[in-house]
């Protein structure tokens, strides 16, 4: 492993992590893992009540003490030092257009996969901006938009029996310091390694690859992830 692959200089330890759309499976899974890593985590949802309920259930599900709170998405965006966007693709644009101000200057981590499903399985949707991450960057001009955590299995993240998550997280973005911070954040989940994966214009295929991993899951009855070899 090269020095490059462990961004130890980027210290995310004291930061509050907000997860917008944090009541969904992927959002709750990430919230749980970052809370277990010692972060204060704020779950955001359209309804503050639903967010609070999801937060309470996460806290009650752990024997360790974790700090997870629930707020509406705007309040969560304001509260987070790093803000993860884990909403369904359907509501992505609308949500972000309403959060330009609270997200200004912050690291935003888009992990949305624009996928469709039909009788033949999953497939990648076309996105006018190229990808969910590029749409986010277009809307959130004042934020430091990155893309990451596309391939994490919510089932694995939520499974109390899985301590080590066997996964590399590809982190994309234009802002080197921001991608380094998100790589460090990924590395706070035991077993996970954050790997720089290119510029945002190459985010589409990383998002869309989730369709292939779903195909792998169906064929092999598993929860597939990725590792990058050669590092």
Q: Which two tokens stand for residue 72?
A: 């509406």
User: Is 25 a residue that touches its own copies (CB under 8 A)?
Assistant: no
Q: H or E stretch including 124?
A: strand 121-124
Compare residues 60 and 119 and give the one whose CB is closer to its own copies. 119
Q: In this structure, is the dihedral angle defined by the CA atoms of residues 81, 14, 69 and 134, taken in order, positive or negative?
A: positive
User: Is 225 a residue that touches its own copies (CB under 8 A)?
Assistant: yes
User: Is 21 a residue that touches its own copies (CB under 8 A)?
Assistant: no
User: Is 204 a residue that touches its own copies (CB under 8 A)?
Assistant: yes
User: Is 198 a residue that touches its own copies (CB under 8 A)?
Assistant: yes
Task: Sort 94 into a burial class: Cβ within 10 Å, 0-12 / 13-18 / 19+.
Answer: exposed
User: Is 58 a residue that touches its own copies (CB under 8 A)?
Assistant: no
Pick from 14, 105, 161, 230 the residue near its own copies by CB under 8 A: 230
Question: Least separation, in Å, of the C-beta of 183 and its own copies?
Answer: 11
Report the C-alpha gap between 218 and 231 in whole angstroms: 29
Residue 23 DSSP symbol: T
User: Is 124 a residue that touches its own copies (CB under 8 A)?
Assistant: yes
According to DSSP, the residues that pair with 171 across neighbouring strands are 196
Report the C-alpha gap between 209 and 152 in whole angstroms: 12
User: Is 231 a residue that touches its own copies (CB under 8 A)?
Assistant: yes
Residues near its own copies, by CB under 8 A: 2, 4-5, 120-124, 153, 166-167, 170, 172, 195-199, 201-202, 204-209, 211-217, 219-231
């Amino acid at each position: 492993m090269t020095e490059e692959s462990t961004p130890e200089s980027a210290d995310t330890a004291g930061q509050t992590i907000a997860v917008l759309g944090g009541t969904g499976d992927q959002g709750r899974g990430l919230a749980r893992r970052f809370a277990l890593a010692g972060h204060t985590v704020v779950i955001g949802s359209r309804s503050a009540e639903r967010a609070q309920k999801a937060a309470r259930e996460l806290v009650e599900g752990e024997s360790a003490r974790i700090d997870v709170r629930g707020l509406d998405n705007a309040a969560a965006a304001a509260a987070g030092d790093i803000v993860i966007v884990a909403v369904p693709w359907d509501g992505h644009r609308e949500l972000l257009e309403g959060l330009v101000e609270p997200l200004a200057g912050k690291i935003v981590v888009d992990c949305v996969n624009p996928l469709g499903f039909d009788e033949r399985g999953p497939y990648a949707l076309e996105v006018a901006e190229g990808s969910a991450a590029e749409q986010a960057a277009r809307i959130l001009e004042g934020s430091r938009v990155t893309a990451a955590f596309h391939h994490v299995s919510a089932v694995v993240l939520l499974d109390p029996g899985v301590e080590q998550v066997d996964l590399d997280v590809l982190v994309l973005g234009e802002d080197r310091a921001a991608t380094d911070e998100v790589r460090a954040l990924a590395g706070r989940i035991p077993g996970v390694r954050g790997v720089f994966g290119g510029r945002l214009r190459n985010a589409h295929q990383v998002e869309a690859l989730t369709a292939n991993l779903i195909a792998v899951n169906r064929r092999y009855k598993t929860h597939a992830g990725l590792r990058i070899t050669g590092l």
